[in-house]
Amino acid sequence: MGLLEGKVAIVTGAGNGLGEAYAKLFAKEGASVVVNDLGGPRDGSGSDKSAAQKVVDEIIAAGGKAVANGDDVSTMEGGENIAKTALDNFGQIDILVCNAGILRDKTFANTSEQDWDLVVKVHLKGTYCCTMPVWKWMKDNGKPGVIVMTSSTSGLYGNFGQSNYGAAKAGIYGFMRVLSIEGRKYGIRVMGLAPGAFTRMTSDLPSQRGGEPNPLSLPENVAPGVLYMVSDLAADHTGKVLAVSQRGVREIKMMQTDGFQPERPYTAQDVAAAADKVFFPAAPDKTAKDG
Ligand SMILES: NC(=O)c1ccc[n+]([C@@H]2O[C@H](COP(=O)([O-])OP(=O)(O)OC[C@H]3O[C@@H](n4cnc5c(N)ncnc54)[C@H](O)[C@@H]3O)[C@@H](O)[C@H]2O)c1
């Protein structure tokens, strides 16, 4: 029996890349899948509804269950239609993976208001718009479920030239943390994901340019980690971020030092003198650029 037998999963942005790999693996594991994708190029400037349908056709040809949805995740109407597609076709929602995304990378001084707004809208507001109807349905119907929100090391650690993207991805981290706390009383798990894979989004990064991608860096190698997160194998985990990439699966965690505990009043100079307690010791850089 598959890990997701009898479950209904929504994967946004599943017409390409990582989302496509998640949708196909979820279907193989027995889930009925809503494959959402607006289509269009990487910068979010257009749409092509055949992207989702192509993935659905492949899932059905392989013996799975899936339905396509071409809505825009970054509008409330789109989020509601995506949830409705799941309910109309499969009668329930157990899993939501907010994965859809775009890129408009530029150094900060060259980032226009439009580049800022669109990237934040698709990633951060898109996560809100898709989560809200699913959340309400799970809560109102007393159905436990799991929501995976896609963050990125670019937001959790920072990355040159991605101020809009990094801000959105760090916002998703905060959103995930808050909902994981609110979700406990409803049995709704909320997890964060920082994936890393060779897709059209990352294919022109300096580290990926030239030659064939390493097989370990293909989306199919991230999908089992995400399957783990949405399955009952991870039932004890909520509010956590997993980095899943060719480097394996590992938790990323917010940490604090023991700190400087002053005798009040204290001065700025006292803080400076206690810098070894305030800051972590300088360590080898572990801010791996998984994406
Ligand atoms: N590939 C990586 O290494 C990497 C690293 C960190 C984070 N991520 C994140 O993983 C997710 C998937 O990225 P990917 O690499 O597979 O990219 P991708 O470009 O291959 O796939 C993203 C998909 O989202 C769809 N999409 C874009 N805007 C949409 C909208 N408004 N509504 C619905 N669908 C929309 C696109 O059509 C596309 O099919 C993104 O959130 C991305 O930020 C990827």
Higher pLDDT, 205 or 39: 39
The pTM (predicted TM-score) of the whole model is 0.95
Whose C-alpha lies nearest to ligand 1, atom 1? 197
Q: State how far the alpha carbon of 44 is from the alpha carbons of 8, 73, 102, 216, 279, in Å.
A: 27, 11, 6, 27, 40
In angstroms, rounded to a whole number, what is the distance separating the alpha carbons of residues 34 and 17? 16
pLDDT at 23: 98
In angstroms, rounded to a whole number, what is the distance separating the alpha carbons of residues 31 and 94? 9
Buried b (16+ CB within 10 A) or exposed e, 51-89: bbbbbbebbeeeebebbbbbbbbbeeebbbbbbebbeee
Work out the pLDDT band at 243, boundaries 50, 70, 90: very high
Higher pLDDT, 287 or 131: 131
pLDDT at 285: 62
260 C-alpha to ligand 1 centroid (Å): 42
pLDDT at 47: 82
182 C-alpha to ligand 1 centroid (Å): 27
Q: What is the mean pLDDT of the chain?
A: 94
Which residues on adjacent β-strands are paired with residue 68? 35
| Burial of 274 (C-beta count, 10 Å sphere; 0-12/13-18/19+) | middle
User: pLDDT above 70 covers what percent of the chain?
Assistant: 94
Write phi, then psi, for 193 (nearest 5 degrees).
-130, 130
pLDDT in tens, 95-111: 999 999 999 999 999 99
139 C-alpha to ligand 1 centroid (Å): 28
Catalytic residue among 22, 128, 165, 173: 165
162 C-alpha to ligand 1 centroid (Å): 15
SS3 state of residue 34: strand
pLDDT in tens, 247-286: 999 999 999 999 999 988 999 999 999 999 999 998 666 5
pLDDT at 240: 98
For range 176-202, the mean pLDDT? 96
pLDDT at 48: 83
For range 1-14, the mean pLDDT? 98
Contact assessment for residue 247 and residue 225, using Cβ atoms and an 8 Å cutoff: no
For range 214-232, the mean pLDDT? 95
Ligand 1 pocket, mutate which of 10, 12, 16, 50 (most atoms under 8 A from CB): 16
In angstroms, rounded to a whole number, what is the distance separating the alpha carbons of residues 132 and 118? 20
The single residue listed with the structure tokens 């980032």 is: 111
pLDDT in tens, 120-175: 999 999 999 999 999 999 999 999 999 999 999 999 999 999 999 999 999 999 99
pLDDT at 215: 84
pLDDT at 208 > cutoff 60:
no
33-42, 103-112, 127-136, 218-227, range with the lowest pLDDT: 33-42
Residues near ligand 1 (Cβ within 6 A): 12-13, 15-19, 36-40, 42, 44, 51, 72-74, 99-102, 122, 126, 150, 152, 195-197, 199-202, 291
Task: Identify residue 63 by its one-letter amino acid code.
Answer: G
Q: Which of 111, 195, 120, 113 is nearest to 161 (CA)?
A: 111
**186 counts as catalytic:** no
pLDDT at 76: 98
Which atom of ligand 1 lies at the shortest distance from residue 20's CA?
Answer: 16
pLDDT at 40: 83
In angstroms, rounded to a whole number, what is the distance separating the alpha carbons of residues 250 and 236? 16
Work out the pLDDT band at 46, boundaries 50, 70, 90: confident
pLDDT at 209 > cutoff 80:
no
Q: Which residue segments constitute the domains of the chain, with CATH numbers given?
A: 8-253 (3.40.50.720), 257-284 (no CATH)
DSSP 42-102: TTS----THHHHHHHHHHHHTT-EEEEE---TTSHHHHHHHHHHHHHHHS---EEEE----
CB atoms within 10 A of CB 225: 18
pLDDT at 288: 54
DSSP 106-173: B-GGG--HHHHHHHHIIIIIHHHHHHHHHHHHHHHTT--EEEEEE--HHHHT--TTBHHHHHHHHHHH
For range 5-32, the mean pLDDT? 98
Quick one: which H or E segment has residue 223? Answer: helix 223-230
